């Protein structure tokens, strides 16, 4: 009797494993790196135009964009002459909108960060401007407010890069369907 229950458990586990494998493989999931290859080639040149108002954010954006190309596009960063695809980013400015005040100081604000992407893809040239929104609390002190301003811009730039990745993935998915 015990032997029979052991076989039955093994059989149930086997069929559950097979069912799960079929379910996962049949759903049609493809990682973003697969569909992005329909838009960008595997050699990419990345250029970041430095904004004179916010020059400290240029290295951060360059590093993050390179990381996206390596990890999500599964591409290689190469020189402009070797590249088959190009991405040019420019920080198009930011605006800060106060949301609440306390004793005359802004205590909560919304930062709107704009990033312009000029791309040379397999399909040709394309431009996309992305605006990202970051809301944050701020202390009533001018010393920490400038550091928080830079942090808000970096968070917004990170969000813009994530949105760019989603945009390119969607474009790649559309090309795959055609």
As a whole number of angstroms, the distance between CA 2 and CA 58 comes to: 68
CATH number at residue 97: 3.30.160.150
67/101 same-domain check: yes
49/5 same-domain check: no
92/107 same-domain check: yes
22/4 same-domain check: yes
* pLDDT tens readout for residues 5-60: 667 778 888 888 887 777 666 566 666 666 677 777 788 898 988 878 777 778 88
Number of domains in the chain: 2
For residue 150, which of 55, 68, 64 has the smallest C-alpha distance?
A: 55
Q: Which domain holds residue 19?
A: 1-30
95/53 same-domain check: yes
* pLDDT tens readout for residues 123-169: 888 899 999 999 988 776 655 667 777 888 888 888 988 898 888 88
Helix pair angle (142-177, 58-71), 10° resolution: 30
Dihedral (CA of 7, 12, 16, 18) sign: positive
**DSSP-derived pairing of the beta strands 76-77 and 43-49:** parallel
As a whole number of angstroms, the distance between CA 72 and CA 153 comes to: 23
173/105 same-domain check: yes
Dihedral (CA of 8, 13, 14, 19) sign: positive
């Amino acid at each position: 009797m015990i032997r029979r229950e052991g076989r039955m458990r093994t059989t149930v586990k086997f069929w559950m494993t097979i069912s799960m494998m079929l379910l996962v493989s049949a759903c049609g999931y493809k990682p973003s790196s697969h569909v992005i290859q329909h838009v960008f080639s595997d050699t990419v040149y990345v250029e970041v135009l430095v904004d004179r108002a916010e020059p400290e954010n240029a290295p951060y954006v360059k590093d993050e964009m390179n990381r996206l190309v390596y990890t999500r596009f599964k591409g290689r960063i190469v020189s402009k002459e070797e590249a088959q695809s190009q991405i040019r980013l420019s920080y198009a400015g930011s605006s800060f909108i106060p949301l609440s005040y306390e004793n005359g100081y802004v205590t909560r604000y919304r930062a709107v960060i704009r990033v312009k992407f000029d791309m040379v893809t397999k399909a040709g040239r394309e431009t996309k401007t992305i605006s990202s929104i970051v809301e944050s609390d701020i202390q009533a002190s001018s010393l920490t407010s400038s550091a928080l301003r830079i942090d808000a811009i970096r968070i917004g730039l990170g969000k813009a890069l994530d949105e760019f990745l989603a945009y390119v993935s969607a474009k790649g998915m559309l090309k795959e369907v055609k």
